[in-house]
Chain A
Amino acid sequence: MLDFGGGAAYLTLSIAFTMTYHSSSRSKTERNSGGLSSLSLDDLRSNPRELARQVAFTRREFLRSAAGVTLGSTLLSSGLLARTGIPQKKRKVVVITFGGGARDQETFAPEGQENIPHLMRELIPQSTFFTQVVNRGILGHYVATASLATGVYETINNFASLPPEHPTAFEYFRKDLKRPSSDAWVVAPSNGFNRIGESSHRSYGPGLGARVILPKHLLTAATLGGGADYEHLLRDNYETPFYTPELGGGEFALQQLEMLLKLSVDDFKKHARTLSSPDELSVYITRQLMRQLAPSLLWITMHDIDIAHAGAYSLYIEGIRRTDRLCAELWKTIQAEPEYAGNTTVFILPDFGRDSDDDSGGNGFQHHRTGDALSRTTWMMAMGAGVREGVVIDRALESTDLVPSIGSMLGFSAALAQGKAIAELA
């Protein structure tokens, strides 16, 4: 069914090759617990939910054998964060999106584990790991990140400079808890993410969102447009590699640098010269942000892995290895910073996966265009304050469940989110 040899393959190819600028927000579907499927590959292809369950099961088995984690269940008691005794005002949440999506065969599968040594050996054993997080929305990075941040499958144009249409976690957090703008920040990889911090929703929106810091925009402003020493840090968007949205406000960016981050332009430039990728620049800025402002809700979007769109497998693998290392470095920073140590919950998750080798409508690792079950079925790890260590949960979650879960931890209500708070974390 999925081969090339006649059979009107052009029909599925044509829809796969048209980029997904808009998305559907399908109705909530019944959620099943994980389990081994005995279906054939053809059955699995025609039954995405079954394939998602199979992916989750396999992922769990990989982790059980390699990282020594155990299978959890919904019977695990909830309210763990409350029981830690950490006052609500002191609680912090850091969300890290894992770099533009990576597939199991390059990460959790036995042949891929060499690419994520830090996740496997250091982070997963300390985390509750959710093996089946399904993204039913559009598989474009900006709109998918916006969906993660709002808890609603957003339908905005992936490549337009538009705010999400539904309130973001940052807006719920600040409005419900009356927090200042300095308490919610986003560190975003692309100039196209400059409006991710607050929605266009009339009950929330302007003035209630997160402040967004764009490290590349900062670097461009600091170096007056780049220069040979910095070009490798300024790549903007791998889905549309020829197109970089222009942003004004260079002066404001430099003010952010000096007044908020306490970084001189010279020091910033000097340090940037030692970095090898845009995500390293983001992590550097994130550390500075944590030290200087210690926001309670911090969101970092990694993006290096998305170099896969250029079709060079070696660069995709390099991106995975780098992201693995950077996640571990951020975790160490969180444990070392007095404002964060002991009171911070960290979420690490991809916004979605990448196309499977089995779907002839795609081109394997290169893209995330087919909308197949593998590209929609991702994972999430939660670690730190209020989270059990070394547990694997393989019932199905949706990526829209993240915001309500953060809400239950920090004490705000994600009233307009489609997702539900994750019982094991709430």
Chain B
Amino acid sequence: MSTVVKVLYFGTAQEMAGRPSEEFEAGDTATLRTIILERYPAMRSLSFRIALNRILLKEESGLKENDIIAILPPFEGG
């Protein structure tokens, strides 16, 4: 079942999306990933990771209402 989740974009992903955040309907992270890549094909070249509620995803996961997803390009701090 689909649910509404908020997606945050950071670094170059934010430039590619042209916005800091938006909402999507998806039932799991795999579906969400596909939807995002269809909307922003440029992100296919980006080796981004996904965080679900501030925790890096190790495998695809189901989504529930009000979950926060973050699209994280490789970190560049330090």
A and B interact: no
